[in-house]
Amino acid sequence: MKHIALFIDTRAVGGIESHVLNLAVSLKRQGLSPRVLLWSDYQGGAHPMVRALIENQVSVVDLAGSLQALRQQLCDVSLVHTHGYKASLLTRLTNLSVGTPHVTTFHAGERCRGRLALYDWVDRFSARMSQGRIAVSQAIADRVAAGCRVINNFVSPSQQPAPVASQAKRVAFVGRLVEAKAPQRVVELARAMPELDFMIFGDGPLRAEIEQSRPSNLSLMGEQDMQVFWPQIDLLIMPSLREGLPMAALEAMSYGIPVCATPVGGLSHLVQDRHNGLSLQGEELDPWVEQLQWWAHSDYQTRSKLADNARNTIVEQYSPRAVLPEVLSVYQTAMAAR
């Protein structure tokens, strides 16, 4: 098992893209030869994931939307690992005549609507056609019509943790502005806590609504390279209704930034209340405000301990050292099944 293809269809920057980048770099460091297949390079090499892959000397192949190009790649690798429903479905179709061992990871914790819901259903229903199946949370695995191995997302811990501020005030939301992520709750919290500074990073269909209703202590930052902004954040808030295991939470904690989140999907195992972050229980706003007030009014030593525990959680459970052996085990099993 040397040549491994990671296949993704991507137009934006999100958790799946971060996962593929981390996985590709980690495989290369293991002495393997990963290549990342793009169904189409929509941004002409300008996509942040593509730039980062090239900087890390990982091969990137633009398939230009061609099934023939995909077939040629499948014939040239030992195993293909797909991410996202489109890459998975295209591989299962093309692989009928090739037979390359195929592993697919199911990432999405949010429910799709319309045509996307149909594609998502077909992806989950045809999962048996993949020799290996990974889900990033048990809730996601339960929705797949075949057995999945639950394996954590992972990130490489930052070499430069974010500094713990003497007076913590900066609270950030990072993610798609969609109903499942509940960014409207951030607006409500910002309005209830004018003494804190809130930032929303990301874009999506709810942006216009948030723009119109946001208080003065809430800034809309759009899509940004979070590696630049993590050191400027004291707390990450994730009031999600549904989740898998969001990469933003792992990235924040790798910098020593505690996560304040609802206990949904993989967040229920990742965030331990007042140990490495804060848990947002129930739907009433007042208990949520109390949690943020406890954090904001905590002394420097308490917040430093939260930061240390957050970072240690990543090192011990969500780093390449902890997770990559499980992924490689799935690869070996998939190849043996062929």
Report whether 87 contacts 73 (CB < 8 A): no
**DSSP per residue, 112-166:** P-HHHHHHHHHHHHTGGGSSEEEESSHHHHTTSSS--EE-----PPPSSPPPPPS
- CA-to-CA distance for 270 and 251, rounded, in angstroms? 12
pLDDT at residue 160 is higher than 90: no
170-317: same fold as 3-154+320-337? yes
- CA-to-CA distance for 323 and 26, rounded, in angstroms? 10
Describe the crossing of helices 184-192 and 285-297 by its angle, rounded to 10 degrees: 60
pLDDT at residue 139 is higher than 80: yes
Q: State how far the alpha carbon of 249 is from the alpha carbons of 137, 256, 259, 262, in Å.
A: 14, 11, 6, 12
CA count, 13 A, side-chain hemisphere, 74: 25
Tokens of 118: 């149909």
Alpha helices in the chain (DSSP H): 15-29, 48-55, 67-75, 85-94, 114-125, 138-141, 184-192, 207-213, 226-229, 247-254, 267-270, 285-297, 300-317, 320-337
- Residue 223 neighbours by CB under 8 Å, 6+ apart: 12, 13, 201, 202, 203
Tokens of 288: 């949520």
Among residues 182, 302, 308, 174, the alpha carbon closest in space to that of 230 is found at 174
Amino acid occupying residue 102: H
| End-to-end Cα separation, the chain, in angstroms | 13
Describe the crossing of helices 85-94 and 67-75 by its angle, rounded to 10 degrees: 70
Tokens of 336: 């043996």
- Residue 142 neighbours by CB under 8 Å, 6+ apart: none
Indicate the length of the chain as a whole number: 338
- Long-range interactions of 268-274: CB distance < 8 A, separation 24+: 270/245, 270/313, 270/318, 272/309, 272/313, 274/306
Q: State how far the alpha carbon of 14 is from the alpha carbons of 74, 83, 175, 307, in Å.
A: 26, 12, 7, 24
pLDDT in tens, 192-201: 999 999 999 9
pLDDT at residue 157 is higher than 90: no
> How distant is the alpha carbon of residue 166 from its chain centre?
30
Amino acid occupying residue 189: L
Amino acid occupying residue 196: L
Among residues 164, 136, 107, 189, the alpha carbon closest in space to that of 310 is found at 164
CATH superfamily of 170-317: Glycogen Phosphorylase B; (3.40.50.2000)
Tokens of 165: 């501020």
pLDDT in tens, 49-88: 999 999 999 999 999 999 999 999 999 999 999 999 999 9
pLDDT in tens, 226-283: 889 999 999 999 999 998 889 999 999 999 999 999 999 889 999 999 999 999 999 9
pLDDT in tens, 166-217: 888 999 999 999 999 999 999 999 999 999 999 999 999 999 999 999 999 9
In three-state secondary structure terms, 290 is helix
Domains of the chain, by residue range, sit at 3-154+320-337, 170-317
pLDDT-wise least confident of 64-78, 85-99, 102-116: 102-116
Q: What's this model's pTM, rounded to 2 decimal places? A: 0.83
Does domain 3-154+320-337 bear CATH number 3.40.50.2000? Answer: yes
